[in-house]
Structure 1
Amino acid sequence: MADMAIKVEKLVKRFGEIVAVNELSFDVRRGEICALLGGNGAGKTTTISMLLGLLIPSTGKIEILGADMLRDRYRVLSIINFSSPYVDLPKRLTSRENLMVYSRLYGIRNPKERVAGLAKDLDIDRLLDRPLGELSSGQKTRVSLAKSLLNEPDLLLLDEPTASLDPETADWVRTYLKNFQQDRGATILLASHNMSEVERLCDDVVMMKEGSIVDRASPADLLTKYGRANLEDVFLDIARGRQNAEDSEVGITA
């Protein structure tokens, strides 16, 4: 479907006897921000890794921007990008060297200007000539985010995009990402444990548990369905096996 940025059908990933992702099917429309939510071990990071082609699915189908990622992923690699605290950039290189290397890999025109512009936008100017291995976790997160924006991707995949950031910087990054998405009409798929972040940014939420989808709706519709005031309580309801507002009330009074 032309209006879908991501289309996943019956995706399975096994690691030996462990089924990390089980018959996962979902899609994300172009221009939307969608969240994958779930506890540790729900399969969020594994799913994003398969979408990127970093992991090969055991079975299933993935289409990204119209390309079959199992057969033709090189057709769209130049217009997607990602950031994750679990994927390190080379630690011995400076931040500038890292960003310049990736700029050349992505075929960026005027890479020095692009790196300088993003460094200013993300307030990492003073970090550019320091080896990445010397930076704090929050500083590395901002450099990784700059890397993910170098090619102004049509699809941005983010795993915990504000991990290790202080509240003020995290708030600023959310605003920056929202503006980037709106200005470019980009699609963003993010995995996050920050429920207020998801409520603020996302059009759609895919709730995962033990490798499967257990619910999906807009943040507002999930709040209505479960009779909750915030997504954190919805998340806890789903983790505890409650399916709707009636079940949630039973849990409260039990």
Structure 2
Amino acid sequence: MPVALTLSLRTVRAWKPDTRQLHGLACALFEGPGSDHTSPVKTFTVQQPTAHAPTTLHLRTSWYGTGDIPATAVESRVLRLGNTRCHVTRTHQRTEPYATLAAAPPTTRATLTFHSPTYFTRSGEPDLTPDPALILGSHRRSWNSAVGDDSPLRIPDDTWHDLQRALRIQEVTITTARRDSGYAYPRPGFTGAITLRLARDASPQTQRLFAALVRFAPYAGTGASTTHGFGATTTRLPGRRRTDGAPQATAGIRGTGSRTEGAHE
């Protein structure tokens, strides 16, 4: 089930990992011995850590597979970012099952905020167009990849097409930003916020699907390279506030936390 996982890390020196190191850490957390690292479908994301002190990092990741989050992600006490050893001093989980997301109250408006460069790919080329169909389409693909072809929660084409036809942009405030791609060149993308709304004649079914996908967005991220720190997304729904701080899952998600002091190998 979708889980937003925050790890508090204590390092031996001030450290800002590059994209390849960050991706490697995410794979170490979420890919087990039997995982296919070359698979194009990866049901996890990672964000660039934020420094709360010279040797203290908060690392935000997410898992959105249908099974339980891998034990390595929540039980590891020492991690490596490149050649730097990090002690895990605290873990915090926020989770919401797919069935709960699918049953979310209908909505006709939501604001998505993109905290790291966000882009899409078309025929192998990067696309920076903040098209609502591309944005929610990426969430739909992640959702369907996770729940599988035979799941009753799978989003079929006809339902998706109804949502596409009803999507409108109400407000947009974005800018172009660049981030280390992990391949020796910077990758451009857009950051900022987009408020989406539905057409007035959108059906209740379309409103429910819209609510489910925008609530799912913080878990899946948006666009390409979400396992490399791109596309970090939060959602704000009418009458609700996003939790203060850096990117986290949308309000209303159940949270659990644990703390471990003096972790060691």
Give me the TM-score of the superposition, normalised by structure 1.
0.29
Which of 1 and 2 has higher RCO (CA within 8 Å, sep 6+)? 2
Q: Which has the larger strand fraction?
A: 2
Q: Which has the larger helix fraction?
A: 1
